[in-house]
Amino acid sequence: MDDDVTTGRGPLFSDPDPDRARAFFRSKRVALSEKVMSVDQAVSTFVHDGDYLASGGFGTNRIATALLHEVLRQEKRGLSFAGHTTTHDFEILCAGHVRGPLLARVDAAYIVGLEARGLSPQARRVMQSGDVEVCEWSNYALAVRLRAAATGVPFLPMRSTQGTDTFRFSASKTVECPFTGRPLAAVPALYPDVAFIHVHTCDPLGNARVEGISVADADLARASKRVILTTEKIVSVDQTRESPQQTLIPSACVDAVCEVPYGSYPGNMPGCYFSDEVHLREWLAVERDPNELTAFVDRLIYETDSFQDYLEASGATHRLAELEAIEKGG
Amino acid sequence: MAGRDYNAIELMTCVAARFLEDGATVGVGTGAPCAAAMLAQKTHAPGLFVVFEAGGLGPELPAMPISVGDSRTSHRAVMATSMADVFEMCQRGLIDYAFLGGAQIDVFGNLNSTVVGPFEKPSVRFPGSGGGNDFASFCWRTMVMTEHSPRRFVETLDFVTSPGYLSGGRAREAAGLPSETGPYRVITDLCVMGYGVEGWMEVVSIHPGVTRQDVKEATGFSLEIPEGVAGTEAPTEQELHVLRTDVDPTGVVIGRGS
């Protein structure tokens, strides 16, 4: 181990320059425009091959499942991805590799695993192939990278990762603190091209509220050039204006709003429904055999037209009442 | 552990819980560390403050969480916040303990949870740091609960994901990590280990029915076992009762033990 390393050797997959980001944000005039559309329209309009994508929530909690499925259906290629606390979201994107190279570059803080549920065989195949470029980070490092972008500065300092291979294989640099003289890790701003975030309620302009933990979504929405929200429910702008302090994501950041009830399924939605552990286990089980996985995603994603169809094809519609009961019961 | 009325996971959980004193703050994940924190709360440490990296602060856990970000981790919490807020509490020095995991650990308590084999084309890709590196960098005292085998306790890590004492001595401070932080205890199915002044792992106590030879054979590096090392106190009836009936009644964590 080389304790003296001052520049991470990892590749930087996105441009941290705040002036180029400002030029983009200057052109973005969406604060008071209505932007309700379908999931397929949002993904075809705002996600392009080669884009840098980030997904909100926490892996199996408040994730934008419908948008991730649609990326597969539209067979997007060569994406970069922020693997920040990603579990089932990452698993879905890796499943898209049954049809071709969906992911090309990954900023990895947490990938491949589904926490206590185990590792995803398909995500391991994709990440062990050598075909996807990887840069290492910690969860806090990626959160700080989004914070830097949300702040509008090219980097922010932090103290973790120093002295480890997680730093050495990142794109951080060591800087000397101008006040204490001690070393700090400077992490570059991350401006994703597009972010997917699922929320509890949102008005047609995109002013969004969530219940429970916010993870990194306040910063993710501000850092991203384009933001697609899915929401359990669309509410009126009046409701936003009656208690504006509850807005987590302001409409000025948001490009598309899609109403998708049960949109975090099979993930957990705080206060609404718990994760479907049966379905999540099924995913992990079918992934052991690539042919089974292909048949599974063909049936549930590629050959369905919408998230509603997925809920029906997967049998979820029969389990939702139980998942709601588990959530309400603690 | 034939002949005893507890399994390895139960022993490890009870031992880990004893290290968490009342009034302390602890960052936990799912599984055994979470069970240990819950057991401490329900026995000697009702004022233990639990934080989850995804944003749950001080929850009253209704059941064992499946994800560190599921809604149980903020059930009746004092705050549901952001991940950066949680790690910044750690970075400011507010969090005493954290539990960490990994596929490999070395004599300095450094952890690998990233890859086995070459980085560019690994033979096994693991999740990576997650919040592990951040907890390991910031918290005053970190603990590991793991199975004790030569595959895990290795001479050289394939990848240093999260910092222990790095190369020992003052290496953490030299690298820029907060001073006086670092690994504190490793709790396995065979023994409890701590660290000497230069950051080398050493055995603190050996579990009932386990020999010094068992520990040596299960460790892939040269491990200091002091003469006359203590025996680990077995779980009490009260600890086991609370663990089985109140902390993990469905056995999702403790049922996995041997």
pLDDT in tens, A159-170: 999 999 999 999
Question: Both tokens of residue A220?
Answer: 């993710």
Tokens of A198: 């699922």
**For residues B145 and B135, what is the distance between their CA atoms, to the nearest angstrom?**
15
Residue B53 a catalytic site member: yes
Can you tell me the distance from the alpha carbon of B114 to that of A154, in angstroms, rounded to the nearest whole number? 27
Q: What local confidence, expressed as pLDDT, does residue B4 receive?
A: 81
pLDDT in the model for residue A3: 47
pLDDT of residue A330 exceeding 80, the answer is no
Per-residue pLDDT, A5: 66
pLDDT at B253 over 70: yes
For chains A and B, CB pairs below 8 A equal: 217
Of B53, B75, B178, the CB nearest to A139: B53
pLDDT of residue B255: 87
Contacts of B9 in chain A (CB under 8 A): none
Pairwise CA distance, residues B215 & B221, whole Å: 11
Chain B touched by A9 (CB under 8 Å): no
CB atoms within 10 A of CB A163: 31
User: For residues A38 and A222, what is the distance between their CA atoms, to the nearest angstrom?
Assistant: 22
- Residue-wise pLDDT tens digits, A125-167: 999 999 999 999 999 999 999 999 999 999 999 999 999 999 9
Indicate the helix (H) or strand (E) that contains A172: none
**Rounded to whole angstroms, how far apart are CA atoms A20 and A287?**
41
Read off the pLDDT of residues B170-212 as tens digits, 9 standing for 90 and up. Answer: 999 999 999 999 999 999 999 999 999 999 999 999 999 999 9
Question: Cβ separation of A213 and B129 shorter than 8 Å?
Answer: no
**Alpha-helix runs per DSSP H in chain A:** 18-26, 39-46, 65-73, 88-95, 121-128, 139-151, 165-168, 217-223, 237-242, 277-286, 290-297, 307-313, 320-329
| Tokens describing residue A148 | 């830097």
Of B63, B73, B138, the CB nearest to A160: B138
pTM to 2 decimals? 0.97
Give yes or no for residue B2 having a pLDDT over 70.
no
The single residue of B10, B53, B60, B202 carrying the catalytic annotation is B53
Across chain A, mean pLDDT equals 97
B99: β partners:
B143
Q: Give the H or E element holding residue B49.
A: strand B49-51
DSSP-derived secondary structure for A235-265: --HHHHHHSGGG-SB-GGG-SEEEE-TTTTT
Q: How high is the pLDDT of residue A258?
A: 99
How many CA atoms, within 13 angstroms, populate the side-chain half-sphere of residue A116? 18
In this structure, what DSSP letter does residue A91 have?
Answer: H
Residue A213 touches chain B, beta carbons under 8 Å: yes
Instruction: Give the pLDDT confidence score for residue A13 in this predicted structure.
Output: 98
Mention every residue, 6+ apart, whose C-beta is less than 8 A from residue A73.
A40, A301, A302
Shortest alpha-carbon distance between residue B199 and chain A (Å): 15
Rg over alpha carbons for chain A, rounded to the nearest Å, is 20
Chain A residues with CB under 8 Å of B51 CB are none
Of the listed ranges A111-115, B2-6, B72-76, B125-129, the one predicted with least confidence: B2-6
Put simply, whether A136 touches B (Cβ < 8 Å) is: yes
Partners of A262 in the β-ladder: none
A207-246: b (≥16 Cβ within 10 Å) or e: bbbbbbbbbbbbbbbbbbbbbbbbbbeebeeeebeeeeee
Percent of chain A with pLDDT over 90: 97
- Name the residue in chain B with its Cα closest to that of A330: B62
- CA torsion angle A107 B30 A325 A90 (round to 10): 20
Mind telling me how many Å the CA of B227 is from chain A's nearest CA? 32
Scan residues 289-318 of A and list those with Cβ closer than 8 Å to B: none
Q: Cβ of B126 and A119 within 8 Å?
A: yes
Query: Do B66 and A117 make contact, defined as CB atoms within 8 angstroms?
Result: yes
- Yes or no: say if B190 and B15 are a contact pair by the CB < 8 Å rule: no
**Terminal Cα-to-Cα distance of chain A (whole angstroms):** 45
Which domains, and CATH codes, for chain B? 8-247 (3.40.1080.10)
State the pLDDT at residue A329.
Answer: 86
Mean pLDDT of A189-208: 98
Q: What pLDDT, on the 0 to 100 scale, is given for residue B3? A: 62
User: Token pair of A56, please?
Assistant: 């909100």
Give the model's pLDDT for residue A2: 46
Structure tokens at A157: 């300092």
pLDDT at B258: 38
Tens digits of residue pLDDT in B99-128: 999 999 999 999 999 999 999 999 999 999
What are the C-alpha distances in Å from A79 to residues A57, A92, A96, A132, A197?
19, 14, 11, 10, 17
Q: Residue B64: pLDDT above 50?
A: yes
Scanning A231-250 for CB atoms below 8 A from B yields none
Q: Is residue A150 less than 8 Å (CB to CB) from chain B?
A: no
Q: What is the chain B residue with the closest CA to A159?
A: B177
A80-95 as b/e, with b when 16 or more CB fall inside 10 Å? Answer: bbbbbbbbbbbbbbbb
Q: Which of B69, B137, B166 sits opposite A59 (nearest CB)?
A: B69
Pairing of the two strands B97-100 and B25-27: parallel
Question: Which of B60, B83, B116, B161 to mutate against chain A (most A CBs within 10 Å)?
Answer: B83
Nearest chain B alpha carbon to A280: B66
The band of A4, judged by pLDDT with boundaries at 50, 70 and 90, is: low
Chain A residues whose beta carbon lies within 8 Å of the beta carbon of residue B105: none
| CATH node for A18-154+189-327 | 3.40.1080.10
The answer to whether the beta carbons of residues B17 and B254 sit under 8 Å apart is no
